[in-house]
Amino acid sequence: MAYRVLGRAGPPQPRRARRLLFAFTLSLSCTYLCYSFLCCCDDLGRSRLLGAPRCLRGPSAGGQKLLQKSRPCDPLGPTPSEPGAPSAPAAAVPAPRLSGSNHSGSPKPGTKRLPQALIVGVKKGGTRAVLEFIRVHPDVRALGTEPHFFDRNYGRGLDWYRSLMPRTLESQITLEKTPSYFVTQEAPRRIFNMSRDTKLIVVVRNPVTRAISDYTQTLSKKPDIPTFEGLSFRNRTLGLVDVSWNAIRIGMYVLHLESWLQYFPLAQIHFVSGERLITDPAGEMGRVQDFLGIKRFITDKHFYFNKTKGFPCLKKTESSLLPRCLGKSKGRTHVQIDPEVIDQLREFYRPYNIKFYETVGQDFRWE
Ligand SMILES: Nc1ncnc2c1ncn2[C@@H]1O[C@H](COP(=O)(O)OS(=O)(=O)O)[C@@H](OP(=O)(O)O)[C@H]1O
């Protein structure tokens, strides 16, 4: 009976049955071999991806757009574009990103939290440099873009704000930077209401240079604006400075600081010198790390001086083993300003600066 199932016609044929069985076993083995091979390739691909120094972070990392454009993944490893730029260690494998895309499709580790620390200012002080440097630290995760929550987007609510944040583990600090907070009247109260423990970082720079930097940026977008001199003074002969012009007003640091001190003790505000950030980035970042209460991970070893750019750059970033400088809009050549105008503005800022040094207990030597 059983033979009838195998062969419709004729007598039982054991040889044919054996052949069929052999073919069936062979095809099963082939299928298994192919499957194993494909899985193996996939695993190799994945481990190469984790170790690939040339893979860039996805477009969601908004801050990266401010960094120089980099090439896509290159299996050959990094080749520094700048003479004197450091080579990335060939054997090093960066840790998988905790908040980045997950290739396996499993849930992303970490939680979106409200920031425990903020870089609140000042515009053109060097805030991007501090953000990009500090995010190299494994205990810090930063939002790359400026969310402008405490000034423009406050109406969207804290849940919206939280949703923008990168995922962090409990041991990690969530950080964002929006330089306009420093001069926003409501920002200190709003931040205090979010958390009175928020740590605040302010990057300050000589207010005259800051104003010229600010003007240079505006000019690059709107070439038809009046001259720097024209905007700076209400009456230049009388030495009347126009304090209603934002580029001037932002540099009156002590006035803005007073609003913050109504809500936060001085010990909760850390001031970074924009000047020292360029001459000694590791020293300034050492103090930032102390202030944040995290180990001094970022040191001299993380920086090199890029002669072409004229600024310190990172040997490697949070997401890449390639050396990286900040983008073209950072460290621009400033417009030429009449030295007399500069002197007048220096005089104008002097009393504000001195009061600022006294208040914060630090001399930034802008005079
Ligand atoms: N390492 C490094 N590379 C490039 N630029 C550096 C660096 N460190 C500090 N700076 C200074 O940062 C200035 C820009 O400040 P911000 O990032 O705060 O600008 S912004 O408010 O976010 O537009 C920018 O101002 P400008 O020189 O006027 O362009 C730089 O002087």
309 is in an annotated binding site: no
Strand order in the sheet with 117-121: 140-142, 173-177, 117-121, 199-204, 269-273
154 touches 186 (CB < 8 A): yes
Among the listed residues 69, 108, 112, 124, the single catalytic one is 124
Has 97 been labeled as part of a binding site? no
Rounded to the nearest 10°, the torsion over CA 6, 9, 14, 15 is: -110
Q: Is the dihedral of CA 211, 213, 216, 217 positive or negative?
A: negative
User: How would DSSP label each residue in 226-277?
Assistant: PPHHHHHEEETTTTEE-TTSHHHHTT-HHHHHHHHHTTS-GGGEEEEEHHHH
Q: Are strands 167-168 and 199-204 parallel, antiparallel or unpaired?
A: unpaired
- Rounded to two decimals, what is the model's pTM? 0.76
Measured from CB, residues less than 6 Å from any atom of ligand 1 are: 123-129, 179, 213, 277-278, 311-312, 326, 330-332
Task: Give, in order, the Cα–Cα distances in Å from 172 to each of 117, 135, 138, 158, 169.
Answer: 11, 11, 8, 20, 5
Cβ neighbours for 202, distance < 8 A, ≥ 6 positions apart:
119, 120, 121, 122, 125, 182, 257, 269, 270, 271, 272
What CA dihedral angle connects 191, 196, 199 and 203, to 10 degrees? Answer: 40
Ligand-binding site membership of 361 (annotated): no
Instruction: Copy the structure tokens of residue 3.
Output: 């033979």
Interface confidence: ipTM more than 0.90: yes
Taking a C-beta distance cutoff of 8 angstroms, is the pair 184, 246 a contact? no
CA of 229 to the centre of ligand 1 (A): 22
Q: What is the pLDDT along the chain (367 residues), one digit of tens a residue?
A: 333 333 333 334 455 556 655 555 555 554 444 343 333 332 222 222 222 222 223 323 333 332 232 322 222 222 233 333 444 333 222 333 333 344 456 778 899 999 999 999 999 999 999 999 999 999 999 999 999 999 999 999 999 999 999 999 999 999 999 999 999 999 999 999 999 999 999 999 999 999 999 999 999 999 999 999 999 999 999 999 999 999 999 999 999 999 999 999 999 999 999 999 999 999 999 999 999 999 999 999 999 999 999 999 999 887 888 999 999 999 999 999 999 999 999 999 999 999 999 999 999 999 8
Tokens standing for residue 57: 């972070």
Nearest CA-CA partner of 116 in 143, 152, 83, 148: 143
CA distance readout (Å), 257 to 131, 250, 261, 355: 21, 11, 6, 11
Query: What is the whole-number distance in angstroms between the Cα of residue 222 and the centre of ligand 1?
Result: 20
Please indicate if the annotation marks 218 as binding a ligand: no
Residue 325 CA, closest ligand 1 atom number: 3
For residue 7, what pLDDT is reported? 32
Torsion of CA 306, 308, 310, 314, to 10 degrees: -30
Atom of ligand 1 nearest to the CA of 334: 28
- Does the annotation count 123 as an active-site position? no
- Domains of the chain in sequence order: 111-360 (3.40.50.300)
Other CB atoms within a 10 A radius of the CB of residue 28 amount to 10
Distance 26 CA to ligand 1 centre (A): 67
Nearest atom, ligand 1, residue 274 CA: 9
